[in-house]
């Protein structure tokens, strides 16, 4: 996988936790108990997709621009997108998409819950 920085990048974000969903072999990243990103692992534990949530229009646009961005693997195809881990999506764009996914899921919580998650920073 060319995006070896993902784990450290996501865990630096306030309130992020991760787990391994053994049944799917996915490393999942959560904010407030809701998943916002995942690294989907294959049989040999090598990443085969990075999955994240985006606004539907942005996901559609990006899928039309990059062949390495596809509708969410095993996820709602409207809201989730998967990125090939050895593809040509620039690092800065992927960081931006991961940030947007984090903010989108964080924004789905009440202001009170957001403040709780962020440790009073909201």
Instruction: Spell out the domain ranges in the chain.
Output: 6-117
* 46 pLDDT above the threshold of 70: yes
**CATH class of the domain defined by 6-117:** alpha beta
Tell me the whole-structure pTM to 2 decimals: 0.93
Query: What pLDDT band is residue 2 in, cutting at 50, 70 and 90?
Result: confident
Q: What is the pLDDT of residue 73?
A: 85
* 43 pLDDT above the threshold of 80: yes
Q: What is the pLDDT of residue 78?
A: 87
Q: What is the 3-state secondary structure (H, E, C) of 4-57?
A: CCHHHHHHCCCCEEEEEECCCCEEEEEECCEEEEEEEECCCCCEEEEEEECCHH
* 122 pLDDT above the threshold of 60: no
């Amino acid at each position: 996988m060319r995006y070896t920085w993902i784990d450290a990048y996501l865990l630096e974000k306030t309130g992020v936790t991760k787990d391994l969903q053994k049944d799917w072999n996915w490393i999942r990243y959560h904010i407030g108990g809701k998943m916002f990103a995942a690294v989907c692992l294959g049989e040999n534990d090598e990443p085969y997709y990075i999955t994240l949530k985006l606004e539907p229009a942005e996901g559609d646009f990006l899928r039309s621009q990059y062949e390495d961005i596809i509708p969410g693997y095993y996820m709602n195809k409207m809201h989730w997108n998967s990125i090939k881990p050895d593809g040509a999506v620039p690092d800065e764009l992927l960081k931006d998409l991961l940030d947007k996914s984090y903010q989108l899921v964080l924004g789905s919580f009440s202001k009170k819950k957001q403040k709780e998650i962020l440790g009073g920073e909201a």
